[in-house]
């Protein structure tokens, strides 16, 4: 059944058509969707759309455009609470979600494949898995390019020079090109928190203060 859904999704993404009404993916054809579904279910739904989109983009030589789309969508989600609210709200109608996501895709200049996928997700009330879709796509693209992604949190936004230096340092450590996924947390006080795969590298002052506080408690 999963293979059939992926096949139909591929056809829908290519031609911009909705999935067959007979196919159901955890209630995709219902008017409303429970956005509180477990993360594992959301990830599974996102993976099916990501598989269809990634495979088609690869076949058509469009992985570079797909990567740009995924980066742009990730940045938009991080910067706009309204965008996140719109895709996750069960009270926004299917038609309104479709109109909004079509307008967003056009304004951002997203590729046809990506725009068709987003429209399909809106039709099926699946836009709420967009964050997982973006992460899935970026992971697939990184793997295809032989890259690894490092999640970097800093007290202030990194400059282009700082990001390049950090990427080079991490590349020397892992032996692969490293793409940075950055975020800002002003409470860090200073330094960086870097998550590279399952490895956490914490150079922040906050972590050192926390360790000192714990040590003081043990002495007391």
Mean pLDDT, contiguous 10-residue spans, the chain (220 residues): 45 50 38 52 89 94 95 92 93 93 95 94 94 92 88 88 89 86 83 81 73 66
Dist CA 179 CA 3 (whole Å) = 31
All residues at 6 or more sequence positions from 18 whose CB lies less than 8 Å from its CB, including other chains: 12, 120, 123, 124
What is the three-class DSSP state of 204?
Answer: coil
Helices (H) and strands (E) in the chain, counts: 9, 4
As a whole number of angstroms, the distance between CA 193 and CA 28 comes to 38
Residue in 118, 111, 107, 102 with CA at minimum distance from that of residue 69: 111
Q: CA nearest 118: which of 107, 132, 102?
A: 102
Cβ 117 vs Cβ 60: under 8 Å:
no
pLDDT at 220: 55
Q: What is the pLDDT of residue 24?
A: 36
pLDDT at 63: 95
Angle between helices 39-59 and 130-145 (to 10 degrees): 50
Under DSSP, the state recorded for 146 is: T
Distance CA 203, CA 191 (A): 5
- Domain ranges within the chain, ordered by starting residue: 2-143, 146-219
What is the predicted pLDDT for the residue at 132?
94
Q: What is the pLDDT of residue 219?
A: 58
pLDDT of residue 191: 76
């Amino acid at each position: 059944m999963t293979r059939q859904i992926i096949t139909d999704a591929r056809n829908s993404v290519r031609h911009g058509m909705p999935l067959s009404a007979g196919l159901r993916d955890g209630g995709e054809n219902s008017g409303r969707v429970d956005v509180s579904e477990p993360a594992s279910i959301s990830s599974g739904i996102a993976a099916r759309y990501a598989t269809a989109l990634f495979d088609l983009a690869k076949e058509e030589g469009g992985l570079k455009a797909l990567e740009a789309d995924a980066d742009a969508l990730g940045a938009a989600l991080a910067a706009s609470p309204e965008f996140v609210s719109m895709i996750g709200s069960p009270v926004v109608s299917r038609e309104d979600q479709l109109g909004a996501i079509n307008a967003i895709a056009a304004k951002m200049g997203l590729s046809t494949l990506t725009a068709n996928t987003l429209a399909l997700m809106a039709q099926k009330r699946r836009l709420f898995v967009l964050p997982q879709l973006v992460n899935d796509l970026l992971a697939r693209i990184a793997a295809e390019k032989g890259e690894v992604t490092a999640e970097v949190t800093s007290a202030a936004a990194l400059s282009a020079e700082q990001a390049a230096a950090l990427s080079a340092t991490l590349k020397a450590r892992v032996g692969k090109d490293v793409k940075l996924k950055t975020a800002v947390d002003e409470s860090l006080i200073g330094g960086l928190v870097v998550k590279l795969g399952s490895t956490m590298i914490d150079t922040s002052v906050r972590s050192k203060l926390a360790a000192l506080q714990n040590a003081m408690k043990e002495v007391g």
